[in-house]
């Protein structure tokens, strides 16, 4: 198991540590519900150094990314971030990712921690046809970068204390390279996985301890606290954000997963699975990922069966929890056609009992 640049701080803070994606990571510090509410109302700090980072550079960087990702990379401008996915050539998803544009010939891909090796192999496999050289045009920098996500309505206000560069007014999904907390060449990005606002900050591993101490000193007056992976999951689920391995995987298409908005069918963009996915968009699919809330009291969990009023199986839960903000069971599930409309009554089979729920539009929680 690997450690991040912040592992000692987690241990000193009394975090409950667990193995996750090859790293020892904090799952919680002082209770998942309280950590969740801290992020929604104030500011919280997540260690997300386990995420993967790949550099793509050179004249062929753009056509390469247009081919291996579903979104339209050509619309990006310098300092813009884009959410996308890697179609897998069989109608499924290799992974979802963020694409950062530094210039027309320089991009950073940020991928999920559990998929780094798989994603890297996929990127390398598709690089040759574009003449990208592994090790120079395509570089895996995952082990060199430390990352903190500072999330919450007070996050940017607190972080503004650490840089002369204005950051509180940055647009969502943009980034800057700035001096921050006395550290040069920091990537400061207004992205996150919580829906609570805030930023994600990338530094070299050796600058990690300095970043951690500065962030908590600056955020002290705002009630900033460290947050674990447990609350990260409940926060993303309240927003209806997909989690790879739960809601999307190698067998789910972006159209089925409600990710048609990151799948761009434009004439000038040829990408993996384009024809297959375009056919799904035009002809429709037989199942779709939908959100639901529990009407009866119960907590839905992954793989629970979804049934209709007659007990017929109509789907399967992909993610579920008790929402700390709504005080209600919430979840997402792939449902068969005919059960997609908001307010449609469905039943979640929990411990051999069919508990009533209803389909809702996402997100579950609006700040």
What pTM does this model have? 0.97
Residue with tokens 């090796």: 117
Domains of the chain with bracketed CATH:
1-283 (3.30.1360.120), 286-360 (2.40.30.110)
Q: Measuring CA to CA, how many Å separate 162 from each of 249, 317, 354?
A: 39, 43, 52
Question: What is the DSSP secondary structure assignment for residue 361, as one 8-state letter?
Answer: P
- Alpha carbons 240 and 333: distance in angstroms, whole number: 11
Three-class DSSP category at 122: helix
Q: Measuring CA to CA, how many Å separate 138 from each of 129, 238, 288, 305, 342?
A: 13, 35, 35, 42, 44
Neighbours of 62 (CB within 10 A): 18
**What pLDDT is attached to residue 367?**
78
Task: Return left, alpha or beta for 333; rule: phi > 0 is left, psi -120 to 50 is alpha, else beta.
Answer: beta
Q: Show the tokens assigned to 181.
A: 């907390």
**Contact status, residue 262 vs residue 254, Cβ threshold 8 Å:** yes
- Alpha carbons 79 and 189: distance in angstroms, whole number: 9
How many Å separate Cα 25 from the centre of its chain? 17
- Alpha carbons 42 and 227: distance in angstroms, whole number: 12
Contacts of 32 (CB under 8 A, 6+ apart): 228, 230, 231, 234, 324
pLDDT along the chain (367 residues), means of 10: 96 96 96 98 98 98 98 98 98 98 98 98 97 98 98 98 98 98 98 98 98 98 98 98 98 98 98 98 98 98 98 98 98 98 98 97 94
Contacts of 327 (CB under 8 A, 6+ apart): none
**What pLDDT is attached to residue 233?**
98
| Angle ∠(83,261,39) on CA atoms, nearest 5 | 50
**What pLDDT is attached to residue 36?**
98
Q: Which of 301, 309, 303, 304 is nearest to 344 (CA)?
A: 309
Three-class DSSP category at 136: coil
**What pLDDT is attached to residue 313?**
98
**What pLDDT is attached to residue 242?**
98
């Amino acid at each position: 198991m690997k450690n991040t640049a912040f592992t000692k701080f987690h241990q000193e803070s009394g975090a409950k540590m667990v193995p996750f994606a090859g790293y020892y990571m904090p799952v919680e510090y002082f209770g998942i519900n309280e950590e969740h509410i801290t992020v929604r109302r104030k500011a919280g700090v997540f260690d997300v150094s386990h995420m993967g980072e790949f550099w793509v550079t050179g004249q062929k960087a753009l056509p390469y990314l247009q081919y291996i990702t579903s979104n339209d990379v050509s619309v990006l401008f310098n300092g813009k971030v884009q959410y996308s996915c890697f179609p897998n050539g069989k109608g499924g998803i290799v992974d979802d990712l963020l694409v950062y544009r530094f210039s027309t010939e320089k991009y950073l891909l940020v991928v999920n921690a559990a998929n780094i090796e798989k994603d890297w192999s996929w990127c390398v496999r598709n690089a040759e046809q574009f003449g990208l050289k592994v090790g120079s045009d395509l570089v895996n920098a995952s082990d060199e970068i430390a990352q903190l996500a500072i999330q919450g309505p007070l996050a940017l206000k607190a972080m503004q204390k650490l840089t002369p560069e204005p950051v509180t007014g940055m647009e969502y999904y943009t980034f800057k390279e700035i001096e921050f907390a006395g550290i040069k060449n920091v990537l400061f990005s207004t992205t996150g996985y919580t829906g609570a606002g805030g930023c994600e900050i990338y530094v070299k591993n050796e600058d990690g301890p300095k970043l951690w101490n500065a962030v908590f000193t600056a955020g002290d007056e705002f009630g900033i606290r460290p947050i674990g992976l447990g609350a990260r999951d409940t926060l993303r689920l309240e927003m209806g954000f997909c989690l790879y391995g739960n809601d999307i995987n190698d067998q789910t298409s972006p159209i089925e997963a409600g990710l048609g908005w990151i799948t761009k069918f434009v004439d000038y963009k040829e990408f993996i699975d384009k024809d297959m996915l375009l056919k799904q968009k035009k002809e429709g699919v037989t199942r779709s990922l939908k959100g639901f809330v529990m009407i009866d009291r119960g907590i839905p969990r992954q793989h629970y069966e979804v049934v209709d009023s007659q007990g017929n199986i109509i789907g399967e839960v992909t993610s579920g929890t008790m929402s700390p903000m709504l005080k209600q069971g919430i979840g997402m599930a792939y449902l068969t056609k005919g059960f997609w409309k908001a307010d449609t009554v469905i039943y979640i089979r929990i411990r051999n009992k069919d508990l009533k729920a209803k389909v809702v539009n996402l997100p579950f929680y609006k700040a």
